[in-house]
Amino acid sequence: MNGLLWLASYPRSGNTWMRLFLANAEAGAPRPTDINAIPGPGIAGDRSLLDYLLGAETSDLTDDELERFRPAAYRVFAANAAKTIWMKIHDAYTLTSAGEPLVPADASCGVIYLVREPRDVAVSFAHHAGVKIDAVIERMADPSAALSGDARRLREQVSQRLLTWSGHVRSWVDQDAIPKLVLRYEDMVADPLTAFGAAARFAGLSDDPDGVARAVSHCSFGELSRQESERGFKERLRIATRFFRSGRAGAWRETLTTAQAARIVADHGGVMERFGYLDGSCQ
**Binder to other proteins among 48, 97, 229, 246 (CB under 8 A)?**
48
Closest CA to 103 of 91, 115, 86: 91
Residue 152's Cα: distance from chain center in Å? 25
**Binder to other proteins among 40, 41, 63, 134 (CB under 8 A)?**
63
What does residue 184 show for φ and ψ, rounded to 5 degrees? -95, 135
Q: Which amino acid appears at position 195 of this protein?
A: A
Query: Is residue 56 a contact residue for other proteins (CB under 8 A)?
Result: yes
Residue list 142-201, contact with other proteins (CB under 8 A): 150-157
Q: Binders of other proteins: how many residues, by CB under 8 A?
A: 37
The minimum distance between CB 73 and other proteins, in angstroms, equals 5
The DSSP secondary structure of 180-204, one letter per residue, reads: EEEEEHHHHHH-HHHHHHHHHHHTT
The minimum distance between CB 48 and other proteins, in angstroms, equals 4
Measured from the CB atom, the residue of 106 and 150 that comes closer to other proteins is: 150
**Binder to other proteins among 65, 100, 134, 138 (CB under 8 A)?**
65
Strand 146-147 and strand 160-161: pairing? antiparallel
Residue list 190-249, contact with other proteins (CB under 8 A): 232-239
**Binder to other proteins among 60, 191, 273, 279 (CB under 8 A)?**
60
Closest CA to 19 of 259, 278, 200: 200
Query: Is residue 58 a contact residue for other proteins (CB under 8 A)?
Result: yes
CA 198-34-124 angle, 5° bins: 65
CA–CA gap between residue 34 and residue 19 (Å, rounded): 12
**Binder to other proteins among 20, 53, 107, 114 (CB under 8 A)?**
53
Residue 225's Cα: distance from chain center in Å? 19
Query: Residue 33 has what DSSP assignment?
Result: P
Measured from the CB atom, the residue of 66 and 200 that comes closer to other proteins is: 66
The minimum distance between CB 121 and other proteins, in angstroms, equals 21
CB 210 within 8 A of CB 80: no
Residue list 75-104, contact with other proteins (CB under 8 A): 76
Where do contacts with other proteins occur on this chain (CB under 8 A)? 47-48, 51-65, 69, 72-73, 76, 150-157, 232-239
